[in-house]
């Protein structure tokens, strides 16, 4: 019988950390993707299972709250479970614990099932009817919180999508957007990320030009990534840092 809750132990590698010596947010997201993929495989809704039906998973929302970021060679445990469905969305939560078992990072995410040929979302309830969800266990109590990118604009920059930005679905992988945003900030060696709330609404493909705009509002740092050609917003993020 498939496990309702999936756990994996991970050693924070040298390629997971940046100049701060701590696990990078984008690296954590990659681990989340891998652990979630392994659990989805066991549940019969993994990449290979869905591609037989010309369907794939797409991440639309992710909210992370961190008390501490682990350092290089630190042993952590990532725990994940599907919480339930809400209209077009399927929610999946994550907990990261340190070697003593203390939870140091919490996250909740929302995913959609996309028809590969039509590029349209599908209602997940029927396909996931046999999944044993865990609605009573919550890493973060709410669905990823909505927000708007408002504040005093600081600057903007262009970024052209490179081949190395692409994933197996032939569009920019969600972890790359976080790296773009972190590159735009530039003060991470002095301040730690406390929370990240990011929404993905429109994909970017090879050779397209993205416009990154960032602004501040009190303790909040906002970033939007839009298509230069169409001016459609593809990604919005709100980040909070330590003082």
Q: Measured in Å, how far apart are the chain's first and last C-alpha atoms?
A: 47
Per the structure block, which two tokens stand in for 42?
């066991």
Residues in the chain, how many?
A: 243
What tens digit of pLDDT does each residue of 214-235 get?
888 877 889 999 999 999 999 9
Q: 């169409």: which residue's tokens?
A: 230
Phi, psi of 50 (to 5 degrees): -75, -35
Nearest to 197 by CA among 82, 86, 65: 65
Domains along the chain with CATH numbers: 6-122 (3.10.129.10), 152-241 (3.10.129.10)
Tell me the C-alpha distance between 234 and 192, whole Å.
25
What tens digit of pLDDT does each residue of 20-75 get?
899 999 999 999 999 999 999 999 999 999 999 999 999 999 999 999 999 999 99
Residue 151: band (very low, low, confident or very high) from pLDDT cuts 50, 70, 90: low
Res 76 pLDDT > 90: yes
What tens digit of pLDDT does each residue of 78-136 get?
999 999 999 999 999 999 999 999 999 999 999 999 998 888 999 998 899 999 999 88
Average pLDDT, the chain: 92
């Amino acid at each position: 019988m498939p496990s309702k809750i999936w756990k994996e132990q991970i050693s924070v590698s040298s390629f997971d950390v940046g100049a701060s010596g701590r696990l990078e947010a984008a690296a954590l997201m990659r681990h989340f993707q891998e652990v979630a993929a392994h659990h989805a495989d066991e549940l019969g809704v993994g990449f290979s299972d869905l591609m037989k039906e010309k369907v794939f998973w797409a991440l639309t929302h992710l909210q992370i709250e961190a008390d501490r970021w682990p350092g290089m060679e630190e042993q952590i445990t990532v725990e994940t479970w599907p919480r339930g469905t809400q209209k077009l969305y399927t929610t999946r939560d994550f907990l990261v614990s340190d070697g003593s078992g203390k939870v140091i990072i919490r996250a909740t995410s929302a995913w959609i099932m996309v028809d590969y040929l039509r590029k349209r979302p599908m209602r997940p309830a029927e396909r996931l009817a046999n999944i044993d969800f865990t609605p009573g266990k919550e890493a973060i109590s709410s669905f990823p919180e909505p927000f708007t990118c408002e504040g005093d604009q600081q600057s903007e920059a262009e970024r052209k999508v490179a081949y190395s930005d692409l994933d197996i679905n032939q569009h920019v992988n969600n972890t790359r957007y976080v790296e773009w945003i972190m590159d735009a900030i530039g003060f991470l060696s002095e301040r730690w990320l406390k929370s990240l709330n990011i929404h993905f609404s429109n994909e970017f493909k090879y050779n397209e030009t993205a416009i990154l705009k960032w602004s501040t509002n009190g303790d909040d740092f906002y970033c939007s990534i839009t298509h230069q050609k169409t001016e459609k917003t593809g990604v919005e993020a709100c980040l909070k840092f330590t003082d």
